[in-house]
Structure 1
Amino acid sequence: MNWIEEQCQNIDDSMKKNNSKKTYQLVKDLTSTKQRRTTTIQDKDGKCLTEEQDILKRWSEYCSELYNYRATGDP
């Protein structure tokens, strides 16, 4: 039995037991799209930044360039 068949079997079992809450949750888990949070960004040279402070600094630089003003304060 593959993964999707197992999920369908679990849904079927919960329906047979009249467990609508569990059935709803299983269907929701199976059909919902999950968005992952991106924790990296590239600097001007294409290097991936992974540290939070580096990422915040890069966003500050990007916004400053985009809107053509100098952001004040520490990001």
Structure 2
Amino acid sequence: MPWISNKILHNIEQRREAKKTFGKQSEQYKDRNKEVKNAIKNDKKEYLESHLSHIEICNLTHSSREMYSGINRLMRNFTPRLSAIKDKDGKTLTENEEISRWKEYCSELKGT
């Protein structure tokens, strides 16, 4: 998350220490937790406002490519990719002893 600053990370560490020392129900932890949540919320708001103002400037200067790439950066979600190999029955292989399937798979690719 690009809007999290070093100050917020320091506050998160202090909250973690308060939780270890005093417990989750203590006032110190609750105060630190509020500080962290508010700081993250404010920094995210500033980050979004700066991005949106950049997008507006791109729109006014007719830089459509840069404008749309800025919009896509804001709207795109993280999607992890899984690159696993499957056996002939469609079951995902994860064990080390099934390395021979890799050889079989690669030889099948060469054959096609």
- TM (norm. structure 2) is 0.35
Please state which structure has a larger fraction of its residues in strand.
1
Q: Which has the larger radius of gyration?
A: 2
In terms of fraction of residues, the more helix-rich structure is: 2
TM-score (norm 1): 0.50
